[in-house]
Structure 1
Amino acid sequence: MDGIALEILWGNLISTVSEQARALQRIAFSPIVREAGDLATALFDAEGRMVAQAVTGTPGHINSLAAAGEHFVRHFPAGTLLPGDVLITNDPWLTAGHFFDITVMTPVFRRDRVIGFFGSTIHHTDIGGYGVGAGARDVHEEGLWLPLAKLYEAGRPNALLHDIIRRNVRTPGHVFGDLAAQVASGRVGAERLQALCDRQGLDDIAELSAQVLARSEAATRDSIRRLKPGTFHGESRFDVPGGTEVVLHAAVTIDAEAGEITIDFAGSTPQLPIGVNVVLNYTAAYANFAVRSCLDPELPNNWGSLRPVRVTAPEGSVVNCAYPAPVNARHVVGMYVPFPILKALHQVMPERVLAEGAGAVWTIQIQGKDAGGQSFTSSMFSYSGGMGARRGKPGPAATCYPTGIAAVPVEVLEAAMPVEITCKELRDGSGGAGAQPGGDGQRIGFRLRTNEPWLLNAVTSRTAEGPEGLEGGAPGAPGRFLVNGVPVSEAKKVVMQPADEVVLETPGGGGYGKAGR
């Protein structure tokens, strides 16, 4: 396949999966998906290998979705599928690491055979059980576990599975609304792929997939071969809900001859009794993101380009937890995975890395009854801190790194749930000083419009020590979680009173280089 034809087809594939993502965001019920973009969509070939991803989506979702494709194909061989089938799972160890992230796969049939799949993973606001916090004692307390299954069979709903979901969640209308959005977006992708095959006279995408994946892998290996070989170490420390310190240690080995990178997390904290543990899929997702963003961010992100990077961690560690470890707040640790890797890569390409940032987004889930007595449960995302500074630029303030989701507008939050935002402003000076200063965190306050006690699940981090600077840069300010002005550090749900005010002060990013240099 010549380069010009391949480039035209590649542009068509990116447009197709991006349209799938836009359809998902337009239809979704949840502000987390619709406004914040907490999602991933991708095209897979008939072997379950991710060929192309949309231009929007989080690294944790998209790279975990990439790992899920082959599990679906192995469990549902092509001969067992029918037109109209839609597949589903939220198995933490097969996909994105906790029950809230549900993956839906839509097979694409052409001339009575499967030629590919369109997959999506989104964060659902409710999956029953404990909720999004870290207080559950094992994974079975955390919500509904959906094994690899058919959500639709030959175009008809799997009645038993639908009923099981409906009986196990608090807000079935929202859950099924978001599932319907995933199903509809998969159909949009399938229709666009059929149109592409018609225009180009293709019976399938096997040759196109092989070309894209082979070239992506070769280009990635070539980029690695240009790096200094050796093993380089980095370490990051931070506190999680309840005050426990977590240590992530990464040994990054660059094999320039083979064009491969191995990242080993041996020496990291063992898995914890609270729900911040991370499955290896999610760890690998953010580890790959860290490498790819420094290596050559213009390369396609797919099965081929992910293949030269291998991620290992001791089973039973906080970044490769063993069943039945609780995992619902896995983002708290998972979003710190890039930082020890970046510290190791600083010894190889210092101009391409950044200082430590706030890390994980601060997540709030609220449950209760509004002033009219109507029950509600919802998650509120996008409470980000400051990013770390770069060698030549300051760190952006209040920016979700590494996850990349957007902030949900205050007006949308207040319209979607009985919450009143009392303040939302930058924490001036919370970024670390340096030749390039770190980004500032932010201060967000809220109370609920309710006449009854309500439940708060708050998942915070970096409240003991702020993010480290690089090359003499000062650390950023640590965060603070306040209830009525009193600092709180809890891994479990907290009972709140109607007039209580919650204030979140997210950390600032670390500075880069000594100030005045």
Structure 2
Amino acid sequence: MTTESITLSAIWNRLIATVDEAANGLVRSCYSQVVRDYHDYCTGIFDTKGYMLAHSTRTTCGFIGVIGEVMKHLVRIFGDNVEEGDVLITNDPWLSSGHLLDITVAKPIFHNGNLVGYALCIVHHSDIGGRRADIDSRDIYEEGIQIPPLKLFKAGEEDPSIAAMIRANVRTPDEVDGDLRGQLSALHICEKGVQRLLGDYPDYTMEHIADRIIALSDSSMRAAIRSLPRGTYVNTVTLPPHGSLTESIPMKLTMHIRNDAIDLDMTGTSSEVKAAINSPLYYSKGYAFYALKLLLDPHVPNNEGCIRAFSFLCPEGAILNCRRPAPTWGRAVISHSLPELIFGALRDVMPERLIADCGSTPISGIYSRGTRYDGSPFLALQSDRGGYGASRGADGKSCLSFPYNTAAIPIEVTENETALVFLRKELATDTGGPGTWRGGLGQTVEFKIADGPIEPPSEILLSARGAMRHEDSVYPVLGLSGGGKGRGDALTLNGAPCKQGATMRLKPQDTICLTLPGGGGYGDPMRRDPESVRFDVEEGLVSLKSASAEYGVVLDATALTIDHEATREIRSGVSTACRIEGDQDGRLYRQCIPQGAVHRA
């Protein structure tokens, strides 16, 4: 390793540390739970062309393919018309990150009087006006205020009319304005960090640093692609109808792996729809490129060079490349499915690197607004997780986000800030797909509208949506290499099934119960280690019935010890099929029936 490469490594890590410091500053200074607890944000540092050099490590993953495009748009729009102290702002979904709730701010960085780069911060805000948080919007105008590319600050002086306009159009002005101020602090941290860096390394320019970081990362990714067999790979999935839609949504991928590049062609995918699940092109590209980065070169820090070997083609007017003024509030419903679409195309190429489908895909959400018992308004997001898909050699993690990487908001926070009271939040037994390696479990979340001394003075507006991936649906949580599907997916209001994503008017004591599916399994469940099955039953992750019926492992109902002889018989498939029944005392016992016999209750 040369002295220059060591120095470049130190500089690169300084840039990453700077954007992480900025992200931490944002979280510590923000107002809303969306930033503080949910972590839906990103920070980045760019060169003068808008090429991304560093990206916060705690972030929403799809931003890898988004923030570079956002910055390039702003560089193109403002050109040389920037000066020290300027701050640029926009939430244009087609220039920024796909929906109006994400506000982008960016700041040119000057050193010794010269423009050397840019800092950028994107935050998902708690509100942006508009009708309400649901997927039934018919166009972008219903979804909130639109902020074209503007200068929030000019030469260090704020334009107060922009912040005033935003405050006047949102339901939570203090939260939105407070988070915006947090974004400005993140830009300041990035600016000062870059200036100190260049002061410490006077022989290095940002242009030279950018060229080396991007070239090294691009070379690393292309080397990984060259290890793959060249060819064309196709995969299709069908997503269920959402909102007021009545027809399912086809998605088709044709992947061309060339010598050192990958082309993704989405021709054949559904046209844009009259529901707020359309995705602008750059947001779609972000989640597609993230999936390839994850598979091929996960350890290189995110930057422009990591994605230069990829191309993404989608016809204009498709649901993944929607046109103005299509509604995009819930664009994640569609784009979050892209990684699994890509994994499915590669299932015969690299099954050892893939995970089975995840019950947390796409993102779930419970959106509520109303008035608390003390008269204060609230607007809140509660997002819970299904199970991770299993992989070769590892069970899936339970209740973990994929592919979006946001955190679960603690229910104590939601209870403190809303009129919701949680009754249970627990792992859902048997939801993990069976396999040699089991899928992670989903969960059941149940809550009610507060009653008694803390009941709200008026109705609560609430919409809830799970993954919508029931095992018998058009879009189940599939296993891999012989693994079983993830199970569970239900939404009820006061015990009766209700429509997912629809806005409901709820009163005190109304109860919502949401079950999210587990992840798919990997490999033949009959090859799972019996001791692992016994442990799962002991921990309540798998039932006695499933242990026998799906894994072929027979356990004593009381001692939970393995009946090795009966287990061998079931797994060899030569003598018996076992069922778990219940006696009048509610205890479980094993009943084995000779193959071919008819069991009568």
Work out whether the TM-score is over 0.5: yes
Match of 2:517 among 497, 507, 512: 507
Of 1-10 and 333-342, deviating more is 1-10
How much identity, in percent, do the aligned residues show? 34
Give a deviation string over 1:166-196, Cα, whole Å, max 9, x none.
Answer: 1111111000000000001110111111111
Q: Which residue of 1 aligns with 2:549?
A: none
SS of residue paired to 1:197: helix
SS of residue paired to 1:422: strand
- Measured after TM superposition, the shift of residue 322 of structure 1 is 1.7
Of 148-157 and 457-466, deviating more is 457-466
- Measured after TM superposition, the shift of residue 203 of structure 1 is 7.0
| Aligned residue identity for 1:460 | G
**Quick check: 1:370 aligned with 2:372?**
yes
| Aligned residue identity for 1:255 | R
How far, CA to CA, are the matches of 1:66 and 1:22 in structure 2? 21
Name stretches of at least 5 consecutive residues in structure 1 with no aligned partner: none
**Quick check: 1:452 aligned with 2:455?**
no
Match of 2:52 among 50, 53, 58: 50
How far, CA to CA, are the matches of 2:101 and 2:448 in structure 1? 25
SS of residue paired to 1:21: helix
SS of residue paired to 1:347: coil
| Aligned residue identity for 1:456 | L
8 Å CA contact retained: 1:134, 1:459:
no
Work out the number of aligned pairs and report it.
513
How far, CA to CA, are the matches of 2:174 and 2:204 in structure 1? 39
Q: Which residue of 2 aligns with 1:65?
A: 67
Bigger-Rg structure (1/2): 2
Q: Which residue of 1 aligns with 2:479?
A: 469
When residues 4 and 171 of structure 1 are mapped into structure 2, their CA distance, relative to the original with a 3 A threshold, is: same
8 Å CA contact retained: 1:239, 1:462:
yes
| Aligned residue identity for 2:250 | V
Q: Which residue of 1 aligns with 2:438?
A: 437
Match of 1:482 among 487, 492, 497: 492
How far, CA to CA, are the matches of 2:116 and 2:23 in structure 1? 20
| Aligned residue identity for 2:111 | R
SS of residue paired to 1:516: helix
| Aligned residue identity for 1:494 | M
**Quick check: 1:19 aligned with 2:21?**
yes
How far, CA to CA, are the matches of 1:237 and 1:467 in structure 2? 12
Q: Which residue of 1 aligns with 2:598?
A: none
| Aligned residue identity for 1:248 | M
**Quick check: 1:313 aligned with 2:314?**
yes
8 Å CA contact retained: 1:110, 1:204:
no
How far, CA to CA, are the matches of 2:95 and 2:118 in structure 1? 17
8 Å CA contact retained: 2:41, 2:122:
yes
What's the Cα RMSD here?
Answer: 1.6
Q: Which residue of 2 aligns with 1:379?
A: 381
How far, CA to CA, are the matches of 1:451 and 1:197 in structure 2? 57
Q: Which residue of 2 aligns with 1:184?
A: 185
- Measured after TM superposition, the shift of residue 372 of structure 1 is 1.9
How far, CA to CA, are the matches of 1:363 and 1:510 in structure 2? 21
- Measured after TM superposition, the shift of residue 435 of structure 1 is 1.5
Give a deviation string over 1:476-514, Cα, whole Å, max 9, x none.
Answer: 114111111111124442211222111111111111122
SS of residue paired to 2:406: coil
- Measured after TM superposition, the shift of residue 460 of structure 1 is 3.2
How far, CA to CA, are the matches of 1:364 and 1:156 in structure 2? 39
**Quick check: 1:238 aligned with 2:248?**
no
When residues 423 and 438 of structure 1 are mapped into structure 2, their CA distance, relative to the original with a 3 A threshold, is: same
Q: Which residue of 1 aligns with 2:258?
A: 255
Q: Which residue of 2 aligns with 1:398?
A: 399
| Aligned residue identity for 2:221 | T
Structure 1 runs (4+) deviating above 4 angstroms are none
- Measured after TM superposition, the shift of residue 246 of structure 1 is 2.5
Describe how 1:30-109 pairs up with structure 2 within 5 A. Answer: 30-78=32-80, 80-109=81-110
| Aligned residue identity for 1:152 | F
How far, CA to CA, are the matches of 2:43 and 2:187 in structure 1? 9
Q: Which residue of 2 aligns with 1:274?
A: 275
